[in-house]
Each structure stands twice: as C-alpha cells, then as structure tokens.
Amino acid sequence: MTAEATSESNGRPGLKGKIDKTIIASVLLHVLVFGWMMLSFSTKAYVMPDEDVVAVDVVSADQLSKAMAGTKTGDKKNPKPLVEKVAEAKPPVEDAVGKITEKPPVVTDTTPPPQPKPIEKPVEKKPDPPKPVAEAKPKEEPKPVEKKPETPDPIAEAIKKEEKKPPKPVTEAAKPPPQPPKPKAERTFDQTKIAALLDKRDPSRAPVTGDTINSNAALGTAKGSAADNSATWGAMFRQQVERCWKKPYGGIESQNPEAAFSIRLKRDGTLEAMPVPDGTPATPYLKVYQESALRAIIECQPYNLPAAYFEEWKFFAPVFTERRG
Amino acid sequence: MTDKDLSPQMPFRLNRRQLVSGMASIGLLAGAVLRPAAAQKRIPIPEGDFAPVPIAIPNFAAGTPSDGDVGAGVTQVITNNLRRSGLFAPIDQAAYLEKAVNFDAVPQFNNWKTINAQALVTGRMTRQPDGRLKAEFRLWDVATGQPLAGQQYFTQPENWRRISHIISDQIYERMTGEKGYFDSRVVFVDETGSKERRVKRLALMDQDGANVRYLTRGSDLVLTPRFSPSTQEITYMEFGQGDPRVYLLNIETGQREIVGNFPGMTFSPRFSPDGQRVIMSLQQGGNSNLFAMDLRSKSTTRLTDTPAIDTSPSYSPDGSRICFESDRGGKPQIYVMGASGGQAQRISFGEGNYSTPVWSPRGDYIAFTKQGGGQFSIGIIKPDGSGERILTSGFHNEGPTFAPNGRVLMFFRDPGGNGGPSLFSVDISGRFEQRVPTPGFASDPAWSPLLS
C-alpha cells in the first residue's frame, strides 16, 4: 500500500493506487464490524433470554408462560372482541342455536324490537345468552356483549368452569367455526322486556366459544421459548450440585470435557429416576468425568428449588462442562 | 485516503466485496439467532473444582481366621497409595457405620452414603490349602450402586504387598481414567554417615518406601542408577579404582558387568526403551560426548562430536529421539536430537541453567533441573520447547524421574548444612508434593516401569 498521492491524470496506475487504499480500508471496516458481530452474537447465544415485563394479573404461572410464548402467526392488532376457543359442534349448543334460528332472525343493530308480539317472542328466545357468543376470557374483565342481570349466573358458572379447565393453548382451536351464531351485535336494552328476554334454556355449560380465536397472541421473543425462571432455579441447582461434585483430575492439559444429562425431579427435589446421560464418552477420562457428574447429581438430592417453578425444573438437562462459551 | 476516488471501477469491486461480506454476515446472523428451541432447559455447571474422590476402604475380610493380619495390611497399603496420589480422600475407618463388610453380598450403600463416600472398596484374603494366598476385591460406585471393578489374584503369601499395589492400580485406573503407577520400584543412592565420610550405596525399594534392600556394599561411590525397561537390570556409575565406570547390575542374580571399556570417564548412563542399548556420556580431554552401546554386540556409536560438554542423555519412549544437556551454546541447556545423532535442537530458552533432562514415559514432557537466581527448580517442558512450567523451587532440588504413568515426578532435595538429601514426589501439576520415606538420606532416584 503506497502512500504517495498519485494524480488521476496518470490514468490507470494512479486509480489503482487509490482504489487499493479505499478497498483495504473498506475491508478493514468490514472485518471489524463482522468481528464485533461474531463476538457479540456468540456470547449472546449463551445468555439467558430476557425476562419479559409482565402486567400483573392473577393467573397461574403456566398460563402466563404459555401466553408469553406466543405464536409466530399472531396478529399484532385485535380488531374485534374475540374468544379463546372457536365454537365446536356440540349437539346441545347446536340444538339451542337451531331452535332459535328456526325463527326468522330479526336482529339488527338499530331496529327497535319489532312491535308484533308473536314475532318478538321467538326473537326473545334468540337472545344471545352470552355463551355461544363472543365473550371475553374469564381472565380478562368479563365483558359480555350484552348486559343481562339474570344471566350472570350462567356466566359465572361458565367462568368457573372455564377456570377449572386446563387452559388450552391459544393455537389449538384455529379452526373455522362450524356453526357460529352470527348475531353478536348489540341489542337495545328494553327494560320492559326483561322477563321476556330471559334465557329459558338450561345453561349449556359449554366453554366460551365464538367466532374467531382471541389472538392476543403476540409474536413472542426471538428465541421462541417461554420466558422462564431458569436463571433463578438454575443457579440454585448449580450451587447445590457443585457441593457434591468431585471433579476428576484431568491432568494439566485442558481436555474440554462435557457431560450432559436429562433428569426428572419430583416436587420434593428428589430424583424420579436415574439421570440419563447424554451420549457415550469417547475416552477413559470422559467416562470418568461423566461418572463423577452422575454421582454428584445423585448424592446431592433432595434439591431445594422454588416450588413455584416446578413445571420448569421437573425436567431439565444439567450440563457439566469445562468449555467456556 | 482521498475523497475524490470516483473511479468507475471502484463501486463494482466494492459492491462485490460488500455483497459477499453482506451474505456472510447474514449467514452469521442467521446462525446466531435462529437457535433450535431445546427440548428441555440446559443448565451449565461450569464451576467445578478438582477434588479428591472420597473413598471408603474397610479392612479386607479374612477368608480364614489367620488371614486377619494380611487383610489389614493390604488395606493399609492400598489406603496409603491412594491417599499419597492426592486424587483420593480415604475416609477414616473410625467413621464407618459398618466395619466388617460381607464380601459376597451387595453392600448396604446407605451406610456409605451417610458418611459421604462416593466409592467403596471391599475385599477378602484367603490362604489356600496349597499355601498360596488368594486376594479378591470389588470397587463399588456408592451413588448408583454399581460395581465398577473386581478381580481375583493368586500369589505367594510374601507377595501380599505387590497384590496391594496391583489392586491400588486397578482402583486408580477405574476412577481416574489414567494408568496407575503403584506397582513399581525406585532405585536410589542411600546415604549414611557423616557429611565428611558419607557412605553411598545403591538401594532398591517399593515406590511407597517399603521393602528396602541394598544392592552394593558402599565401599565405592555410586551415582546415577537407572532402571532397564525390563526391570531386572540397573545401570549405574561407580567410582572404583581408576576412572568411574558404567556398570550393569542384574537385580535378581546380583551379577555385575562393566558396560564397555572406554578410555576416560563414563557418566550418566541410561537404557534405551527396548533395553538393548545403553546411552552415556564419555569424557575425553576437556569435553564429553554422547555414545550409545549395543549391549549384545558391544558395538558403540558416537552420537555427538563437539568441543562442548554433552551429558545426561535420555531416550524418548519410542526410542526415536534423545534429549540431553549441553553447554555448546555457552550455558547448560536442553537439546533434542535424533537417536542416531545428527542435528541437535535447543529447546530450553529460559533464564538459568538447564540440566538432567529426562523424557516422560508418555512422551509428552521432558523434566529437568533448572538452576538460576540461587534457586534450584524442578520443571517440565514439552519436547518442542513450549509449555515450560516449574513444579517446585528451593535449595537444592535435583534429578527428576518420572513415574510409569508420566503423572508423578520424584526428585531429591538437599537442604544443605549438616543434614542430607531426601526423596520427594510431586504431581506434574505441581500439587501433592510430599516426602518419600527412606531409611536414611537418599538421592538420585530412578523410577522403574510398572512391574506387572
């Protein structure tokens, strides 16, 4: 790389000299940038995912983590009130809906209830008990599409039922609704007709169903795993198992050993079964290394880990290693 | 760099580079970010420190009522070996919940888990009707309840110590993944008497200091004894009448012969790995050079021919190269050369004088004595000259020799004054330095290969 400034009038050789400098500088910059990227990404690979900040709701840890996991196809917007699960073809519900749809539907947003009574009556039967209609999930503020003083009972029952049920994954019911009752538009509230508007059917005890899935699903984090608390209980496990681990003497040469296991723990922190080693060791030292780690896992039980995160630490993979990330 | 470089060709070149680099960076990004979601969470455990394995060795059971003593003796030797290696922490027998273990039954592992043992050794000694001694042992993994090793031996009763060493080696190998070194012997120079009238005799002992016997009477000064790979012969130097000479001594028969008939003094002999040759330095005039002699044909080969002092040669374990000490560069340094002579390469470059190089039986290190700054140090270095590390320093350390597994070194230390030298051993990591018990003062140790 020559430092002399050759003028452009020299033609090709001069240009070449200038090009060399610039290209070299460009390459250097690229190398610097990529080198930094390689380093920063390689360390990132070993960093625990950031714990997302979560609004405080009274929910179970499972429900929360599943919500945070998200789906890749999730929409960012929620244009209309949606439910957790699409209505399934259930005979009682269908019958109920069928009964109603036998009569000509008269519902519109703005029309007042039709005057002729005989027509009203079938219409009254139709009223949308909040069940087949879109209703917010119990964990959110219950927002029934219509407010009916008498219907809270079925609603409450449905809510209770919903809470007792194991929460279904959000993506599960991504099926087109078989027989959704269309009307969920608001109805004008006629106080005089409260009695007539009472839902005379039995509570259907069906899960809250509706038109489309409530895709509160967000895109989630890039790593695609649920935000979890492994930083906490992982550190506790590590500290406890290291008390028992008599790491074998590897000599003065660095051998970069690694021994991974799958373990299942019970709630009291004891092993449910023998830890399963991952892979067969290739050298006598690696075999001894793996055996010493196995001994440590077995000897140091029961592990004192936070009960709140049991679902996370009941099945995980401790990796005993010398390898530095 | 000017701003006005607007050659029509430049954007093209840069674009291509940029394109390639950009694609590479995209690849890097993709590789780094798109990690597959693991089936379960991986928790790294990186902070383990080396710690000796807690091991329980209850007394070997007595197969017949008269075997109690030998059972206790075997247990003691094994426990001692494992403890001195530094890699095991034998648990005091006083802490055992179960003192007498039934050798034939599967042990009650809970009794051993309670005292935090990770390994358990059980055994039995039984005198046979034909007079032989049967020794059995089993090594158990306390956590998993699995048997790790087990063996049965028949031997003459007087060899009970060797059986203990052999069992120790089995335990050591199974738990560390390394070859053992307990079933071996050490030849050294035993020194007695006052400093002015020191009597030096060749002595032979087990590596743990037991079974000492003297090989020479002490009338003449003896130096640098070395084992033959076949372990039945020792070569050493003796100052008899006239010039010091290199001798061969058969341990079993006691026969002695002179190695070669050279005019001049011969020093620091060592065997070749196949036991067929002895290499030594021969001093003629003011300098000394290396010679190798074939023991069968008695033919000798000159290996170096310099005006310098070349001495203390040692073969590599495959016999292809030798390392030796030479002051051809001014001060004593370590050189490596082909076994049949030729170009020699210096490998030591630190501050100080390097002497007494010896090649490890594993071939991965050369140990040496280093003198500098008033200190004598024992160190190791790789045959290519890299990885030098000092294991111990003081006044006055000298003469390292490797254990058969290349993991432990023995050397001697002379504190000066009116006392005398003693033998010490140290691990090649610099740990577990300890004194080796000898009846009197001792120097110049040499470690035999494994006897079995």
Between B260 and B410, the higher pLDDT residue: B410
Question: Each residue of B146-180: pLDDT tens digit?
Answer: 999 999 999 999 999 999 999 999 999 999 999 99
**CB within 8 A of A280, min separation 6: which ones?**
none
Amino acid, res. A229: N
DSSP A178-244: SS-----S-----GGGHHHHS--SPP--PPPEESSB--------TT-S----HHHHHHHHHHHHHHH
Q: What percent of chain A has pLDDT over 70?
A: 35
Task: Flag whether pLDDT at B427 surpasses 70.
Answer: yes
Interface of B with A in 309-348 (CB under 8 A): none
Task: Flag whether pLDDT at A117 surpasses 50.
Answer: no
Cα–Cα distance measured from residue B200 to residue B192, given in angstroms and rounded to the nearest whole number: 7
Cα–Cα distance measured from residue B174 to residue B171, given in angstroms and rounded to the nearest whole number: 5
Q: Which residues of A203-214 are buried (b: 16+ CB within 10 A; e: fewer)?
A: bbebbbbbbbbb
Contact A37 B29 (CB under 8 A): yes
> Which residues in chain A have Cβ-Cβ distances shorter than 8 Å to B51?
245-247
Instruction: Tell me what pLDDT residue B39 has.
Output: 63
Coil/strand/helix, residue A158: helix
- Helices A117-125 and A91-102 cross at an angle (nearest 10°) of 170
Contact A288 B176 (CB under 8 A): yes
Please work out, in degrees rounded to the nearest 5, the angle formed at the alpha carbon of residue A200 by the alpha carbons of A196 and A201.
150
Contact B1 A237 (CB under 8 A): no
Q: How confident is the model at residue B410 (pLDDT cuts 50, 70, 90)?
A: very high
Task: Flag whether pLDDT at B449 surpasses 50.
Answer: yes
Mean pLDDT of chain B: 89
Cα–Cα distance measured from residue A121 to residue B367, given in angstroms and rounded to the nearest whole number: 105
Which ranges in B52-93 belong to alpha helices (H)? 68-85
Question: Each residue of A193-213: pLDDT tens digit?
Answer: 665 656 566 555 555 555 555
| Among the ranges given (B17-31, B119-133, B344-358), the one the predictor scored with the smallest mean pLDDT | B17-31
Instruction: Tell me what pLDDT residue B62 has.
Output: 94
**What ipTM, to 2 d.p.?**
0.81
Task: Flag whether pLDDT at A145 surpasses 90.
Answer: no
Cα–Cα distance measured from residue B103 to residue B366, given in angstroms and rounded to the nearest whole number: 44
- Chain B residue at shortest CA distance from A227: B41
The pLDDT of B317-342, averaged and rounded, is: 95
B105 CB within 8 Å of a chain A CB = no
CA distances from A304 to A111, A233, A243, B45 (A): 65, 9, 13, 17
Q: What percent of chain B has pLDDT over 90?
A: 70
Contact A299 B389 (CB under 8 A): no
Instruction: Choose the mutation target among A246, A264, A298 for the interface with B, i.e. most B CBs under 10 Å.
Output: A246
Q: What percent of chain B has pLDDT over 70?
A: 90
Task: Flag whether pLDDT at B339 surpasses 70.
Answer: yes
User: What token pair was written down for B448?
Assistant: 């035999």
Interface of B with A in 112-171 (CB under 8 A): 113, 116, 118, 141-144
> Which residues in chain B have Cβ-Cβ distances shorter than 8 Å to A225?
37-38
A48-52, A228-232, B296-300, B403-407: range with highest mean pLDDT: B403-407
| Among the ranges given (A49-63, A98-112, B142-156, B298-312), the one the predictor scored with the smallest mean pLDDT | A98-112
Question: Of the candidates B5, B54, B173, which has its C-beta nearest A22's C-beta?
Answer: B5
Task: Flag whether pLDDT at A11 surpasses 60.
Answer: no
The count of C-alpha atoms lying within 13 angstroms of the C-alpha of A187, restricted to the half-sphere facing its C-beta, is 26
| Among the ranges given (A155-159, A177-181, B157-161, B201-205), the one the predictor scored with the smallest mean pLDDT | A177-181
B3 CB within 8 Å of a chain A CB = no
Q: How many CB pairs under 8 A join A and B?
A: 160
Contact B9 A248 (CB under 8 A): no
Task: Flag whether pLDDT at A175 surpasses 60.
Answer: no
Contact A21 B176 (CB under 8 A): no
Instruction: Tell me what pLDDT residue B45 has.
Output: 85
Contact A234 B37 (CB under 8 A): no
Coil/strand/helix, residue A75: coil
Cα–Cα distance measured from residue B353 to residue B224, given in angstroms and rounded to the nearest whole number: 20
> Which residues in chain B have Cβ-Cβ distances shorter than 8 Å to A251?
178, 407, 428-429
Task: Flag whether pLDDT at B230 surpasses 60.
Answer: yes
| Among the ranges given (A53-62, A112-121, B117-126, B276-285), the one the predictor scored with the smallest mean pLDDT | A112-121
User: What token pair was written down for A184?
Assistant: 């969920």
**Shortest Cα distance from A267 to chain B (angstroms)?**
17
- Chain A residue at shortest CA distance from B179: A284
User: What token pair was written down for B116?
Assistant: 């935090």
A34-48, A134-148, B22-36, B174-188: range with highest mean pLDDT: B174-188
Question: Of the candidates B28, B46, B429, which has its C-beta nearest A252's C-beta?
Answer: B429
Question: Each residue of A224-269: pLDDT tens digit?
Answer: 455 677 788 989 999 999 888 988 887 777 778 889 999 999 999 9
Instruction: Choose the mutation target among B13, B25, B45, B142 for the interface with A, i.e. most A CBs under 10 Å.
Output: B45
| Among the ranges given (B33-42, B181-190, B301-310, B380-389), the one the predictor scored with the smallest mean pLDDT | B33-42
Contact B38 A317 (CB under 8 A): yes
H helix count then E strand count, chain A: 9, 5
Q: How confident is the model at residue B346 (pLDDT cuts 50, 70, 90)?
A: very high
DSSP conformational letter for A299: H
- Chain B residue at shortest CA distance from A284: B177
Interface of B with A in 45-84 (CB under 8 A): 45-54
Taking domain B185-447, whether its CATH number is 3.20.20.10 is answered by no
B253 CB within 8 Å of a chain A CB = no
For residues A207 and A130, is the Cβ–Cβ distance under 8 A?
no
Q: Is B409 exposed, middle or buried (0-12, 13-18, 19+ CB in 10 A)?
A: buried
**Shortest Cα distance from A168 to chain B (angstroms)?**
20
Domain edges within chain B: 53-176, 185-447
**Shortest Cα distance from B359 to chain A (angstroms)?**
17
Instruction: Tell me what pLDDT residue B44 has.
Output: 87
Cα–Cα distance measured from residue B97 to residue B99, given in angstroms and rounded to the nearest whole number: 6
Task: Flag whether pLDDT at B71 surpasses 70.
Answer: yes
> Which residues in chain B have Cβ-Cβ distances shorter than 8 Å to A10?
none
Between A189 and B270, the higher pLDDT residue: B270
Taking domain B53-176, whether its CATH number is 3.40.50.10070 is answered by yes
Q: Comparing C-alpha atoms, which of B408, B414, B412, B415 is closest to residue B424?
A: B412
Task: Flag whether pLDDT at A100 surpasses 80.
Answer: no
Question: Of the candidates B41, B48, B142, which has its C-beta nearest A242's C-beta?
Answer: B48
DSSP conformational letter for A111: P
Between A1 and B158, the higher pLDDT residue: B158
Contact A285 B177 (CB under 8 A): yes
Interface of B with A in 410-429 (CB under 8 A): 428-429
Cα–Cα distance measured from residue B213 to residue B236, given in angstroms and rounded to the nearest whole number: 16
B20 CB within 8 Å of a chain A CB = no
User: What token pair was written down for A317?
Assistant: 């993979």
